[in-house]
Structure 1
Amino acid sequence: MTKGNIENSVLKGIRYLQDHQYPNGEFCCYIGQDDEMKMCITQSNIFPTSLISYSILHLRHIPEASEILDKACAFLQYQAMRGGVWNNFTILNPLFRICPPDVDNTVCASLVLQKLDKHHHPNKELVLANRNETGLFYTWFTLRPKFNRMKNYWLLSLREFKHPIGTFLFWKNTEATRYDVDAAVNANILYYLGLNEQTAPIVDYMLDIIAKKKENDCDSWYCNPFTIYYFFSRNYKAGIQELEPAAKAIVERILGTLKDDHSIGESILDTALGVISLINCGYHSILLEKTIEYIIDQQKHSGGWHRWAVYYGGPKKRLTYGSEEMTTGFCLEALALYNLQLQEGNINHSDYLELT
């Protein structure tokens, strides 16, 4: 495999995303009832655009990628709510008015805008004010019988009284609760805010999850361990050395799922997330070359990759969320990170020599 193979695949993928980005900058999201999402309908959500945009940040030197990011940022800026927070659903989605804004969408959208030096309303104090007694962060910005000094917190929460019946049914009929504390959400908060006195409890929380092998059920919305590995590993790559024990375990567990065809896990999505997580955790091996070849081989003629469930509507997996565009974003991120390893010469050939 040559550097040219990767770059050709990346360019095809970027052009696929450019062709499939909506005029308003949004990316498609489907709702299904199984991981393969064979039967699904479209749903207007914020999160896919944030995730895809983050995945192609390393590719913004490509003109088409830069155009995609500019449109995506305009979309995210338009969807921002009071206090610089975001909802899971777009403003035009009927569910927007009854679903409370959430911290995960908020920090993921903010990360994209921050890394691209795009304007967004300061929201870090509001995020910090949404913690429980152990120092971990709640998933939702919503009413709780607890003192909060932030004006915007109350103004956001009081929107529940505009649609009391719909809000009541939201909490009754979904698997969400006002007191949700989720692992991937907290990992994303740590990545956004950085390690400091206020976010330190998240590190111990993450270490405990990996040590006790709870990555399969530590989050209500990310029920795939590879998604957990992905979000956790970003923090280690960001320089939080306290997570080294978790990083080593993540590498071992991902490599333990390597198949004979050099895929990882159960899908092309798992494979892409696995490669990204391995690289984020400091794994530099020529053995990844075959997995990168597998990713390229799985690319469709259109330039995209098959859809697979990225996140869920709750731990019971009654609803699955994903799209070809989301899978394509992660595959492009895997290719971009591996290409950076090649350019920097950070490939360990010893594993290959031991096998030959």
Structure 2
Amino acid sequence: MNQLGQLEAAINKGVQYLEQHQYPNGEFCCYIAADEPMQGWCITDSTVFATMVVASCLLPLNERPEVDAMITRATDYIAGQMHRGGVWPVFSERHPWHHMVPYDADSLAYASALLEARGVRCFEESNVPLLLANRSQQGLFYTWFILRPRWHTNRTHWRLAIKEISQPITSFFFWRANECTRADIDLGINTNIVYYLGETEQTRPVIVALIQTIAEGREGNCDKWYRNPYNMYYLLSRAYKRGVVSLEPVIQPIVERIVAGVQPDGRIGKSVLDTAFAISTLLNFGADVPPLTNAVSYLIAKQGEAGEWPRWLFYYGGPKLLQGWGSEELTTGFCLEALAGYRQKKQLLA
């Protein structure tokens, strides 16, 4: 079978796997683990965020009825998890940490962009003013919607922030037990906000900071959650593809770093997940480099019998890398997005 035939077969198997493993409520599985391959202790962790990500990865395949149905179930679930003001919790309503963790800008941006792509406008009010009220003096977006020593008139932000006052003990132990801080400004999360808001006067400071980060080679240490450089490359490339063309200066250094990470067997970086990130990044940037075909062959070869790709940590709990989150469903979503993009490229060239 030629590569295009293998590609189609791999996509079909991957779609079938996700279809069979999506929960009846629309959620996709996520685990928390301490090691990157997730082969040590590994516990199911119900996160709304994981479902947002998998559904977003499936958008390039939404012309398939079964994929469209999966995305609809996922977006129905996500819309049902939305809280007043157009915000989302990281963890689902059945998670013990559901009410403990403050609302975050990443979940808001990822969910809002996905729902808009599906033509869903379920926000009780626009959450864009909320985001804009949650910026530093330098114009970068804070990660958390919490109380700050800065005056603004956004009522939604005040209402969300006052949540801390209602549970002071819980709030104290949350900030004490975790690596995150109240002043966090994470550039991976800022990239996702730019993806949602687009290239505007308000997002210009973020774009400048991202270009500088890549120029200085700090992409592996610019965010407490997205600790993987290939993950950052992927996030930047999807923002560029969506129309944030001012990110063009990051293309050449990122492509060069991806090519430098190519292994003899076609793998890029350390894992299947890195390889999927790299393929999508190259495709989103329009970079036609020789390793692309071998990387796709590597992904196809690493697909499991049931249609899945192996789990690997997707995002982390902080710079110490003590724990992180991932699943076969997450890796499979990213692999399907990469293969769908490559198939589209081949079809356009045919």
| Pairing 1:69-88 to 2, within 5 Å after superposition | 69-88=71-90
Verify: 1:303 aligned to 2:307, yes or no.
yes
Code of the residue aligned with 2:52 in structure 1: it is S
Structure 2 equivalent of residue 58 of structure 1? 60
| Pairing 1:91-102 to 2, within 5 Å after superposition | 91-102=93-104
Amino-acid identity (%): 43
Q: Could you tell me whether the CA contact under 8 Å between 1:248 and 1:281 is conserved in 2?
A: no
Distance 2:46 2:245 in 1: 38
- Paired residues, number: 346
Q: Could you tell me whether the CA contact under 8 Å between 1:32 and 1:321 is conserved in 2?
A: yes
Code of the residue aligned with 2:17 in structure 1: it is Y
Q: CA RMSD in A?
A: 1.1
| Pairing 1:107-256 to 2, within 5 Å after superposition | 107-121=109-123, 122-256=126-260
Q: Could you tell me whether the CA contact under 8 Å between 1:182 and 1:218 is conserved in 2?
A: yes
Partner SS, residue 96 of structure 1: coil
Q: CA deviation at 1:47?
A: 1.2
Partner SS, residue 97 of structure 1: coil
> Gaps spanning 5+ residues in structure 1: where?
347-356
Distance 2:245 2:130 in 1: 27
Q: CA deviation at 1:284?
A: 2.1
Structure 1 equivalent of residue 46 of structure 2? 44
2:284 to 277, 280, 285: 280
Distance 1:197 1:188 in 2: 16
Q: Compared with structure 1, are the counterparts of its residues 285 and 255 closer, same or farther at alpha carbon in structure 2 (3 Å cutoff)? A: closer
Partner SS, residue 98 of structure 2: helix
Distance 2:77 2:118 in 1: 14
> Gaps spanning 5+ residues in structure 2: where?
none
Q: CA deviation at 1:312?
A: 0.3
Partner SS, residue 95 of structure 1: coil
Q: Which runs of 4+ in 1 moved over 4 A?
A: none
Structure 2 equivalent of residue 14 of structure 1? 15
Partner SS, residue 231 of structure 1: helix
Q: CA deviation at 1:158?
A: 1.2
Structure 1 equivalent of residue 347 of structure 2? 343
Code of the residue aligned with 1:42 in structure 2: it is T
Distance 2:22 2:152 in 1: 39
TM-score normalised per structure 2:
0.97
Q: Could you tell me whether the CA contact under 8 Å between 2:7 and 2:339 is conserved in 1?
A: yes
Partner SS, residue 43 of structure 2: strand
Q: CA deviation at 1:167?
A: 1.1
Q: CA deviation at 1:244?
A: 1.6
Code of the residue aligned with 1:3 in structure 2: it is L
1:318 to 316, 322, 341: 322
Structure 1 equivalent of residue 4 of structure 2? 3
TM-score normalised per structure 1:
0.95
Q: Could you tell me whether the CA contact under 8 Å between 1:299 and 1:305 is conserved in 2?
A: yes
Code of the residue aligned with 1:117 in structure 2: it is G
Q: Could you tell me whether the CA contact under 8 Å between 1:236 and 1:247 is conserved in 2?
A: no
CA distances 1:121-169 after superposition (whole Å, capped 9, x unpaired): 1211111111000000000111112112111111111122332211110
CA distances 1:245-303 after superposition (whole Å, capped 9, x unpaired): 21111100001000000110000000000100111111124541221111011000010
Partner SS, residue 97 of structure 2: helix
